[in-house]
Structure 1
């Protein structure tokens, strides 16, 4: 039995999808990437109830192919977590390859990096949610194996109504054994420039620490309110990862923090956050933290921020929090 046959219970007829999206109407269009176009729709069921969905219509000519299409379906049908996007179903009819997800109403994190929508506390909570989702992939999917995402970036972190983070886009993911220093030797590089682990680029060796590096870039995007690619300059200036490492090592990170949140951030919260984010970008993968350690440090950063705020609100701001 083929994989598609095994997942037959998740198949959605193309006519239902066309009905849900008004035949892929421009009015329903909500996004586009290397994979193709995404549409918002209302998908009905046998009880006449409807679900708001996001419909990813793969561009089989220029985007993802059969392997990536199958990988995403397998991943999302096999692994469930509060901080992963939820699969509704898929369609493979004729040349159509379509994946249907639950619609995350707030869209992707990259749209909010340089806006006033998110306070520092909200940004920390989003980072924590994304970290928990990635930690599940690395350590919680089952005994003896793990999932490497391979394309962690702010545009692949979706946000629901409550601003809860959901990791998405698993077309490039790899499933491999645990408890090995080298999970994969990959000859064809995958990922997004500005986020991809330079050690992976140089060696072709993929490990869970490759995801950790990418996540470190996302953490600094959240702090600095800017994307991984920051301008058309030489490489040292146009990559956020290079800029933040230099500023951190010079003790000048404050100069590039997103101005709208700079005054909100308590010094001890910033110190904890920036230290763990910086460690993620270590060129030596063995010195990068695990996702479990990242979660621990982000939680501490959040608690320091909230406690400091509470002391300030109650007139006890002079107290020192160790």
Structure 2
């Protein structure tokens, strides 16, 4: 069996090759300025085929540390075969550079379309949630003896491929943990994106796999309502819980989305999303239980009209 070090060596890309495809990190090749540095676009000869890639050049002045770089490389290298995880081509750790090279997904992140009921209709939104759930299930169940806690699931770390299907990215903060200690809380500060962070992290002093379920629940309500997780100093999670409990969800759902929804599908989907936001993490569903509920909502939506 190949060691992890051997596998990583096979996907290490020389710095000169990255310089060639990004025109020496030209400003003209920058497509995004991320939380950890600039993201460059280019075309790379990969396994005899020219593909469009993005190179995330991590910059220490933005707070980047080696631990985040290696967490992302390690996580992505383990899931390169899974369709719902962003496809990593390789990485570079040469001459002080830390660069992650991924496939380029021209549709960008899910966050771009949350408020757009035309580009992403209800049918597409429900199908996307099922696929994301498959991705989360993979990182929680597919590793032998271990699992991954993502810690930064949000609509910006979910990319959309050419077929508008999601790819989970943003593994900078991810941590690996033993499945034997699955239900234990790992000491951790509340790292992540405002609006998606599990409030139980602060209460219990750490994270476990149910923290990712909470963050995903916020994404579910974003897609259901057509609104952002944090907007005008309001948390969508709190707003959605209030309206769900009072039977007034229609008040916060974009009218164009509401008019597309099958009533039974809506009930199933909103119940699943609400269950993710339970204050007590033990009351939140396991990912495979949630997967079944979202598949049911998707079937009811597609077959309900």
Q: TM-score range by the shorter chain?
A: over 0.9
Give, in whole Å, the separation in 1 of the partners of 2:106 and 2:149: 26
Matched residue, 1:275: 271
Q: What is the deviation of 1:250?
A: 1.1
Matched residue, 1:135: 137
Matched residue, 1:82: 83
RMSD of equivalent CA atoms = 1.8
Question: TM-score w.r.t. structure 1 length?
Answer: 0.89
Deviating beyond 3 angstroms after TM superposition, the runs of 4 or more aligned structure 1 residues are 2-6, 179-184
Matched residue, 2:56: 56
Larger radius of gyration: 1
Q: What is the deviation of 1:83?
A: 0.4
In the alignment, structure 1 residue 100 sits paired with structure 2 residue 101: yes
User: For residues 18 and 259 of structure 1, do their structure 2 counterparts lie closer, same or farther at Cα, with a shift above 3 Å needed?
Assistant: farther
Alignment of 1:172-321 (within 5 A): 172-180=173-181, 182-232=183-233, 238-309=234-305
User: For residues 246 and 98 of structure 1, do their structure 2 counterparts lie closer, same or farther at Cα, with a shift above 3 Å needed?
Assistant: same
Give, in whole Å, the separation in 2 of the partners of 1:66 and 1:3: 17
**What stretches of structure 2 of length at least 5 have no aligned partner?**
none
Give, in whole Å, the separation in 2 of the partners of 1:220 and 1:121: 15
SS at match of 2:288: helix
Deviations 1:16-46 (A, max 9, x none): 1122122223332222222112122101257
User: For residues 32 and 302 of structure 1, do their structure 2 counterparts lie closer, same or farther at Cα, with a shift above 3 Å needed?
Assistant: same
Give, in whole Å, the separation in 1 of the partners of 2:42 and 2:185: 38
Q: What is the deviation of 1:230?
A: 1.2
Contact 2:127 2:298 in 1 (8 A): yes
**What stretches of structure 1 of length at least 5 have no aligned partner?**
233-237, 310-322
Q: Which moved more, 1:175-184 or 1:116-125?
A: 175-184
